[in-house]
Structure 1
């Protein structure tokens, strides 16, 4: 059964009006840039939110003139705009609606996000649980966009949220916010070592074989198609052909069966 909603929150040490302004007007500063963080990562160089009801949430692309529609991807349309209190929008890329609330508490603002499947909807990609912690970095004073390194690790667990908590506690891996303590797992749990990402995904199946997929190295390359040709020419076994779901990627194994995922790098990465 398709999950009906997902929610998460962060607390920031600033007032609701400032938190709302930073969230909306400065989204391009706090949105982490990297191959898996856009819907068309091979072209995207930034993010923008147009203010007011009817405004668009946009991915910005490098090519073309200012204001040309082909140079943006509309991610959503704003349905409610209450500065310092509420931002709501209907997604243009899946069947979800999202509300982001800015509520005062002693010492700052609690920013809560709830992403829900719309009535009759079937296609939902719940990403805000993983994304909202990025905002806390900017609200805490980060002054420039954060980009992830070109080499990362993907780990697959039956319970990725519990695993993220254990890795943070036992090994000291960093996280930009408290890991949610519930069983409705986000799209991924994100830990980091410096500017390198450790991404934890749910292991939905455990295939047979000498090396089941429980981890993979992720490498971001400039030209995915050329890299694919090089891999196949030199004897790599392709276990997943090139696909495009936000980011473009393919997966191969080396001669001893280790899994490698190669992704098209974002222009800024």
Structure 2
């Protein structure tokens, strides 16, 4: 059965007018360019919002006049909200900007239309990129953020629980969000710098293979080792040096991880 709606909320440290302007004008800067973040990722080069009622949400290809219309704007109130009717499924989306203290609460509500049957509820995953961009836009290059071409996929019985554990024990973060208790996504994307570690649902009862290890370079290996120990990670080898300093550990479902000390310029 198709869910009737999906809602997601983030808070940002900007007033509503500024948050609205950055959200709409700079969507191509905060939208992460990864292989699963577009309807046609093989050709996509940009995201664009045309302002005003009747404007379009566009996935832009090459040449730039080749586009996929994602939706048509039906309500446009700068600093307050905008809404659009999807052109790729049977949903309507409202994005509101509400003052909260010195900042703004941005809420996305994506709703299945009456008699509709097709819904791609993608906003709950991507809206979390927006506060990440706002936090770094004053010092970061104003170029679209690209994921590296190399990613790691690991399989777990419970990807959400694994994501929470990896966040607590190893400090892995996500450009989207760490699933809360009770969430049951079939996959979760974590990020190390501009690389993806994707946690998928394991099928069957096959245990993790131990003929590989995921390597991550960290700024403070000693602090990271202490955090992993305190979180109950199984330590396979303590910190040791062989040209570089590293330690090896095992996560809650038996995957092997190697953490090594990063160079000062890395």
Structure 2 length normalisation: TM-score? 0.70
Structure showing greater radius of gyration is: 2
SS at match of 2:68: strand
2:125/2:176 contact within 8 Å kept = no
Deviation at 1:178, TM superposition (A): 4.7
Q: Which residue of 2 aligns with 1:121?
A: 116
SS at match of 2:167: helix
- For 1:109-258, list aligned pairs within 5 A: 109-140=104-135, 141=137, 142=140, 143-176=142-175, 178-181=177-180, 183=182, 185=184, 188-201=187-200, 203=201, 206-207=203-204
User: In the alignment, is residue 57 of structure 1 matched against residue 57 of structure 2?
Assistant: yes
Q: Which residue of 2 aligns with 1:86?
A: 81
User: How far apart, CA to CA, are the structure 2 residues paired with 1:46 and 1:139?
Assistant: 19
- For 1:8-47, list aligned pairs within 5 A: 8-47=8-47
1:192/1:198 contact within 8 Å kept = yes
Q: Which residue of 2 aligns with 1:238?
A: none
CA 1:208/1:183 → structure 2, altered by over 3 Å: closer, same or farther? Answer: closer
User: How far apart, CA to CA, are the structure 2 residues paired with 1:108 and 1:60?
Assistant: 31
Write out the 4+ residue segments of structure 1 that deviate beyond 6 Å after TM superposition.
208-212
Structure 1, unpaired ranges of 5+: 218-269
User: How far apart, CA to CA, are the structure 2 residues paired with 1:53 and 1:98?
Assistant: 14
CA 1:209/1:139 → structure 2, altered by over 3 Å: closer, same or farther? Answer: closer
| Greater relative contact order, per chain length (Cα 8 Å cut-off, separation 6+) | 1
SS at match of 2:107: strand
CA 1:154/1:114 → structure 2, altered by over 3 Å: closer, same or farther? Answer: farther
Structure 1 length normalisation: TM-score? 0.69
> Which whole-Å deviations, capped at 9, do the CAs of 1:119-164 have from their partners, x for residues lacking one?
1111112111110111112222243211001111234445433332
